[in-house]
């Protein structure tokens, strides 16, 4: 698995990031929405990609967060400062975005220490500035299933558990689901690939995270995107079935 360069996955849907962490751009006319902010080191890649398409960071009209873990807010504050774009996050993750203080975690890191993937993750995240994520100073919060009036017209699908205010974004007109960390196709601690739940050691509430699969499996989409791992082109239902078979990781 690798992401050598940002790519357009579908008309108006772009993927940025590295082999461990993804973020996305939605394009509607001249306006863009940044979905999650990856790691701080992603900013030059964003600027270069936009420039290659005759665009600039100023075209970003909104930033939307699946949740406020550090690996999803890396470039957000600087993009916000440069564009004055609103940054949308669920009310239950707003404090984490503002302060960088994370919630209590549901599992220990100890079981994962035997996996080389863990050490690669820290190395790559460290190189991309993962240890110094700027807090987001100004936020717009939401707290329920609703359509967001931003480029791409994402519908908020609450999927709490991985974090208290985690949400997925459904783009019905594109047949795309951005699942964030409600599911992944690359487990950043074990290195295992394919649809599965994110590890317990990163979760606020594992039982709630499993329950939130019910919100994912009802979505009609032909492309599902994740915070970690490759896109999934079977149905969300098929991804959820695989994740349930594996159980907690």
- Give the footprint of Zn ion on this chain (CB under 5 A): 69, 71, 181, 227
Nearer to Zn ion, 24 or 59 (CB): 24
Nearest position to Zn ion, beta carbon:
69
Distances (CA, A) of 157 to 34, 131, 145, 195: 17, 29, 5, 19
Nearer to Zn ion, 160 or 227 (CB): 227
CA distance 198 to 201: 8
Minimum separation from the CB atom of position 138 to Zn ion (A):
22
Lookup: tokens for 143: 């707290």
H-helix or E-strand containing 119?
helix 116-127
Minimum separation from the CB atom of position 59 to Zn ion (A):
25
Minimum separation from the CB atom of position 234 to Zn ion (A):
22
Calculate the dihedral angle through the C-alpha atoms of 5, 63, 190, 220, rounding to the nearest 10 degrees. -90
Nearer to Zn ion, 12 or 154 (CB): 154
Positive or negative torsion for Cα 180, 71, 153, 167: positive
CA distance 16 to 18: 7
Tell me whether residue 37 is exposed, middle or buried, using C-beta atoms within 10 angstroms of its C-beta: 0 to 12, 13 to 18, 19 or more: buried
Minimum separation from the CB atom of position 227 to Zn ion (A):
4
Minimum separation from the CB atom of position 192 to Zn ion (A):
16
3-class DSSP state for residue 210? helix
CA distance 167 to 145: 9
Minimum separation from the CB atom of position 56 to Zn ion (A):
27
User: Which of 13, 10, 6 is CA-nearest to residue 50?
Assistant: 6
CA distance 221 to 114: 36
Nearer to Zn ion, 61 or 75 (CB): 75
Nearer to Zn ion, 61 or 94 (CB): 94
Q: What angle separates helix 43-52 from helix 76-83, to the nearest 10 degrees?
A: 50
Minimum separation from the CB atom of position 242 to Zn ion (A):
19
């Amino acid at each position: 698995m690798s992401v050598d360069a940002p790519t357009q996955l579908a008309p108006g849907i772009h993927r940025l990031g590295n082999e461990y962490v993804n973020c996305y751009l939605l394009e509607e006319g001249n306006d863009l929405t940044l979905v999650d902010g990856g790691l701080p080191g992603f900013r030059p890649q964003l600027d270069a990609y936009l420039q290659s398409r005759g665009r600039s960071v100023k075209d970003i009209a909104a930033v939307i967060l699946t949740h406020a873990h550090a690996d999803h807010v890396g470039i957000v504050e600087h993009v916000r400062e440069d564009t004055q774009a609103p940054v949308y996050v669920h009310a239950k993750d707003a404090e984490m975005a503002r302060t960088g203080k994370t919630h209590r975690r549901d599992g220990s890191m100890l079981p994962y220490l035997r996996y080389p993937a863990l050490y690669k993750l820290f190395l790559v995240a460290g190189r991309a500035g993962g240890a110094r994520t700027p807090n987001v100073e100004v936020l717009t919060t939401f707290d329920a299933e609703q359509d967001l009036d931003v480029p791409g017209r994402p519908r908020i699908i609450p999927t709490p558990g991985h974090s208290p205010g985690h949400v997925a974004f459904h783009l019905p007109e594109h047949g795309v689901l951005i699942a964030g960390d409600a599911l992944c196709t690359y487990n950043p601690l074990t290195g295992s690939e394919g649809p599965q739940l994110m590890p317990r050691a990163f979760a606020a509430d594992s039982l709630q995270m499993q329950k939130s699969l019910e919100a994912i499996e009802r979505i009609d989409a032909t492309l599902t995107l994740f915070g970690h791992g490759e896109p999934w082109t079977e149905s969300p239902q098929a991804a959820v079935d695989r994740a349930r078979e594996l159980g907690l990781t």
